[in-house]
């Protein structure tokens, strides 16, 4: 891996950690550890999607050229997300009230995949596309949890964010995701480790998709039941 990429990752971990400490200090004890972390995570998601979009070489074929040498813009974009994933994985270890085993597994798979891509300097197009797919739904994911702590649990705003998150996640992870996985697996020049990480990430996405469908069905049923009771009074 290039020295400047290693330096960027290290400085990125320090920057995300400092951002969390600043947010935690500003908000004080009014909000939880998870709330402060999600503020930082929302900022990363917006930045990651922007950097991924800017590093696409050809929007007529976002995953082209496949199995090619990563461009400097793609390497830098991946380094930013790698630094965030390392920071967030550390946060998961300190957040005792909200343990996330599946999220930790997702982070480990993503970290290994990005490190492999940066070390090989290959698959930049596929990996940047993967970053875009995995982060496009993240702002809605974090916002739906933020509004709950702000006192808007079980409101129309909370339900709207649930629906937006479920929709963007489903389209990105279960429509674009399988296609990207297929492209990565069928490219003969892609290293085996990167293929394995692509498949692992898609399996984790499928598991989350199942959980999201259950959550959305419960939320909509609860809302309809509450509306029906209100109308009956």
Could you read off the pLDDT of 30-46 as tens digits, one per residue? Answer: 899 999 999 999 999 99
Handedness of CA 141, 26, 30, 84 (dihedral sign): positive
Q: Domain for residue 232, yes or no?
A: no
Could you read off the pLDDT of 154-178 as tens digits, one per residue? Answer: 888 999 999 999 999 999 999 999 9
Q: Domain for residue 176, yes or no?
A: yes
Q: Domain for residue 24, yes or no?
A: yes
Q: Is 233 helix (H, G, I), strand (E, B) or coil?
A: coil
Q: Domain for residue 52, yes or no?
A: yes
Alpha helices in 153-191 (DSSP H): 156-171, 177-186
Q: Domain for residue 99, yes or no?
A: yes
Tell me what pLDDT residue 154 has. Answer: 83
CB atoms within 10 A of CB 73: 16
Q: Any idea what DSSP says for residue 62?
A: T
Q: Is 150 helix (H, G, I), strand (E, B) or coil?
A: helix
Q: Domain for residue 230, yes or no?
A: no
pTM above 0.75, yes or no: yes
Could you read off the pLDDT of 182-192 as tens digits, one per residue? Answer: 999 988 788 88
Alpha carbon distance 152, 146 (integer Å): 9
First to last CA, the chain: 66
Could you read off the pLDDT of 113-130 as tens digits, one per residue? Answer: 899 889 988 888 899 999
Whether pLDDT at 60 is above 90: no
Beta partners for residue 69, in sequence order: 122
DSSP secondary structure, 101-137, as one string: HHHHHHHHHHHHHHHHHHHHTB-HHHHHHHHHHHHTT
Q: Domain for residue 142, yes or no?
A: yes
Alpha carbon distance 19, 23 (integer Å): 6
Q: CB-side exposure of 218: number of CA atoms within 13 Å?
A: 7
Q: Any idea what DSSP says for residue 151?
A: I
Range of the domain at 189: 3-225
Alpha carbon distance 51, 56 (integer Å): 9
- The percent of residues in the chain predicted with pLDDT above 70, rounded, is 94
Alpha carbon distance 134, 169 (integer Å): 8
How many domains does the chain divide into? Answer: 1
Q: Domain for residue 12, yes or no?
A: yes
């Amino acid at each position: 891996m290039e020295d400047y990429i290693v330096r960027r990752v290290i400085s990125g971990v320090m920057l995300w950690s400092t951002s969390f400490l600043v947010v935690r200090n500003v908000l004080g004890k009014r909000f939880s550890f998870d709330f402060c972390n999600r503020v930082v995570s929302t900022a990363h998601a917006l930045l990651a999607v922007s950097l991924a979009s800017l590093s696409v070489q050809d929007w007529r074929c976002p995953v082209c050229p496949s199995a090619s040498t990563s461009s400097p813009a793609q390497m830098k974009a991946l380094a930013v997300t790698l630094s965030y994933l390392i920071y967030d994985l550390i946060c998961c270890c300190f957040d005792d009230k909200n343990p996330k085993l599946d999220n930790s597994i997702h982070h480990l798979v993503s970290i290994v995949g990005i490190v492999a891509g940066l070390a090989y300097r290959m698959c930049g197009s596929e990996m940047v596309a993967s970053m875009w797919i995995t982060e496009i739904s993240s702002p809605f994911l974090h916002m739906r949890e933020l509004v709950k702590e702000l006192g808007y649990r079980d409101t129309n705003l909370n339900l709207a964010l649930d629906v937006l998150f479920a929709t963007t996640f489903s389209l990105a992870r279960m429509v674009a995701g399988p296609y990207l996985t297929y492209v990565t697996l069928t490219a003969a020049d892609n290293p085996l480790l990167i293929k394995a990480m692509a498949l692992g990430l898609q399996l984790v996405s499928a598991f989350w998709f199942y959980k999201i469908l259950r959550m959305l069905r419960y939320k909509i049923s609860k809302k309809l039941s509450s509306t029906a009771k209100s109308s009956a009074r």
